Amino acid sequence: MSKVVVVKNAGIRPVKKLAVDQYRLLLETGLGALFDRKPASAALSTMFPGGVVGMKTNCLTRKLNSTPKSLTDAISEMLEDSGIKANNVVVWERTNRELADAGFELNASSFGRRCMGTDTNGLGYGRTFYNSGEVNSLISRILTDVIDRNINIPVLKDHSIAGLSGGLKNMYGAIHNPNKYHIPNCNPHAAHISNLEPIRKKNRLTIIDAIRVQYNSGPGFDSRYLEYFGGILLSTDPVAVDRVGLEILEHCRLMNKLPALEQVGRPVKYLKSADAIGLGMERFEEIDLQVLAVDENGAARPGELF
């Protein structure tokens, strides 16, 4: 059974974004629950026993609604606590410009945590085409050559074509030709992109940021459609975690009197396709969902999804 942990912030509601410490509290609880091990650094060292760990962000919307630097900083700290050297932590995205615009400090040197786009000099996309279904793509050399394992860290939001932008959709940012794979509703392409061999093999963990959910008019930022959910989602199953994310997205739409995604022509069928090719679990009832609420002191108790 696929396990998904949702950790909600039951402490002080942040004005805008969570700080590094606040994310750390959520991550400590979430990772501990996901791997049934405490402290989280012990869980992480089992999952990432060395080598170079990547963190694929989603920086499409600059500082407005991209993967927050405070979240990747919190994860980096924890990875370092678990024994990973700072220089073996790589925050990455398609381009350096996207990372810089989202507030990240670029660093491709051999000192300190690294942060770089695929367009960094000497990187780019590999020369081997990988195939799954109709998808034929070159893959970012950050994923194929630089890192050994990857943590996928998207932001939960609506997407004008895919319906849901979560973990699977975020891997469009790892291939050279994402524009070829959007119609219809990114199905089955979103499933097949994550099924490309290097992506499937290296993606070990998905952590979706769902502090503020943009439930409509995505993937660009639109302040009219933001809902405070206040949580993060964690799983080693890339499909199950998206499926729970979809539940949250649809709930936010319902609360704001918007029709379900299917009714507006954006059914999220690619999760079923992903399940069909064995990438993960799409059936909500078969997902082992654990919801926890964490107060400002880090004390956790069972919580409700909504």
Return residues touching other proteins (CB under 8 A): 60-61, 95, 119, 124-125, 129, 136, 160-161, 176-177, 179-180, 182-183, 217, 219-222
Q: Residues 6 or more apart from 276 whose CB is under 8 A from it?
A: 191
Q: 129 or 306, CB closer to other proteins?
A: 129
> Which of residues 176 and 200 has its CB atom nearest to other proteins in the complex?
176
Give the nearer residue to other proteins in terms of CB position, either 160 or 236. Answer: 160
Q: Residue 180 or residue 301: which is nearer to other proteins going by CB?
A: 180
Distances in Å between the Cα of 304 and the Cα atoms of 132, 164, 181 are 37, 22, 36
CB of 179 or CB of 297, closer to other proteins: 179
At closest approach, how far in Å is the CB of 204 from other proteins?
A: 27
Least CB distance to other proteins at residue 288 (A): 35
Structure tokens at 24: 């750390």
Q: Which residue has the tokens 């993606």?
A: 203
Instruction: Name the minimum Å distance from CB 217 to other proteins.
Output: 6
Measured at the CA of 202, the angle between CA 88 and CA 59, to 5 degrees, comes to 70
Q: Cα separation of 132 and 121, whole Å?
A: 28
Cβ proximity to other proteins: between 80 and 222 the closer is 222
The residue length of the chain stands at: 306
Q: Whose Cβ is closer to other proteins: residue 14's or residue 124's?
A: 124
Q: Residue 79 CB: number of other CB atoms within 10 A?
A: 23
What's the closest the beta carbon of residue 212 comes to other proteins, in angstroms? 17
Q: E strand or H helix at 255, and its extent?
A: helix 238-255
Query: Who's near 239: CB < 8 A, 6+ residues apart?
Result: 2, 168, 271, 274, 275, 279, 280, 281, 282
Nearer to other proteins, 14 or 103 (CB): 103
Find the shortest distance in angstroms from Cβ 178 to other proteins.
8
- For the CB of residue 182, give the shortest distance to other proteins in the complex, in Å: 7
Instruction: Give me the least distance between CB of 122 and other proteins, in Å please.
Output: 14
Residue 92 contacts residue 139 (beta carbons within 8 Å): no
What burial class does residue 255 get, using C-beta atoms within 10 Å of its C-beta: 0-12 exposed, 13-18 middle, 19+ buried?
Answer: exposed
Q: Considering the complex, what minimum distance in angstroms separates the CB of residue 146 from other proteins?
A: 18
DSSP bridge pairs for 172: none
State residue 303 phi and psi, 5-degree precision: -130, 180
Geometric angle at alpha carbon 170, from 123 and 75, rounded to 5°: 80
